Amino acid sequence: MRSVESNINGANKLMTKIERDKNREGVSYEDIATAATRIKGQALLTPVFTSKTVNERTKSQVFFKCENFQRTGSFKFRGAYNALIQLSEEQKHCGVITYSSGNHAQAVALAGKLLGIHTTIVMPEDSPVVKQAATKSYGAEVIFYNRYKTTREEVAGCLQQERSLTMIPPYDHPHIIAGQGTVALELFEEVGSLDLLLVCCGGGGLLSGSAISAAKLSPKCKVIGVEPEKGDDATRSFHSKTLQTVHNPDTIADGARTASLGALTFPLILHYVHDMVTVSDEALLRAMFFLWERLKIVVEPTGALSTAALLEGIVSAANARIGVIISGGNVDLKQVSNFAQIDEIR
């Protein structure tokens, strides 16, 4: 496994006293514990799967936290509900807006439906059809844009001003991060301490929230973020200690096409995460098919990021207890087939 000690030591030096003290814009474990109470009864307690085949292959004990069984098919519902339920009555009356390729879109749409809040969702035209359909089915107003001609932030920002809506960003928001941190909180409560925790990374909401939970509940656990090779902005940011960006990465992991980490998630990741790695799209597909065939669960490409890092040997540790967060299961089979032929991958 790659050395993580030098990385985290360097990251710690970058954290200012204000950041370490968790200023009013930061996120603490207490925020995550409160979020867990707030979303209880709405978010599902998702299962933890194990596999003898995976354990033998990795020479470790592996625990898969399966957020593909969460409402809307991904972990995103946790943060969305935690954020929307805390809005003022005026904000709820006016409605909310967000931008997303699909999973956060569905999460905000369902949370809005449950709480009686009108939701407007800005989605790329080429987002997975299955995610578009689900978002609309929850009653959201969906507005499409061409991601090669404009940015989702620009489109959503204009609509926010025109309609006096409250923005619920997909990851860079303290209530979103706190909600996502409940994934790891549940995992540690069920299986106990871990040596490694592998978490997929797009904008960093799930990764930063999970790492905060790990620091509190399993202090010796090394947290490693995983993102696609073609969208490696977070990995470059982590190792350079300077925020990096990527423009419309052409990766099958549509949930990790974010341009960069956020103003909140970046310092949290520098402080709490021990390493960042990347995996190829081919590795993602191999991991995704493996999970379908051996664990009998449907996982989307982004959801298989952490599994791919483990199965490909990019991250390894013999005789270890390893947690792997499977982030979602909203896969569009027609879109997957456009990237590669199954027989060429396996």
Could you tell me which residues are beta bridge partners of residue 143?
122
Amino acid at 145: Y
Going by C-alpha positions, the residue among 256, 247, 248 that lies closest to residue 279 is 256
Q: Where are the strands (E) in the chain, listed by range?
A: 48-49, 61-66, 96-99, 119-124, 141-145, 166-167, 196-200, 222-228, 275-279, 321-326
Catalytic residues: 76, 101
Phi and psi (nearest 5°) for 211?
-70, -35
User: Rg for the chain (alpha carbons), in Å?
Assistant: 19
Contact (CB, 8 A) for 29 and 212: yes
Q: Rounded to the nearest 5 degrees, what angle is found at the Cα of 329, between the Cα atoms of 199 and 143?
A: 100
Q: Rounded to the nearest 5 degrees, what angle is found at the Cα of 231, between the Cα atoms of 22 and 131?
A: 90
Residue 200's Cα: distance from chain center in Å?
6
**Nearby residues of 284 by Cβ (< 8 Å), 6 or more positions away:** 228, 252, 253, 301, 304, 305, 308
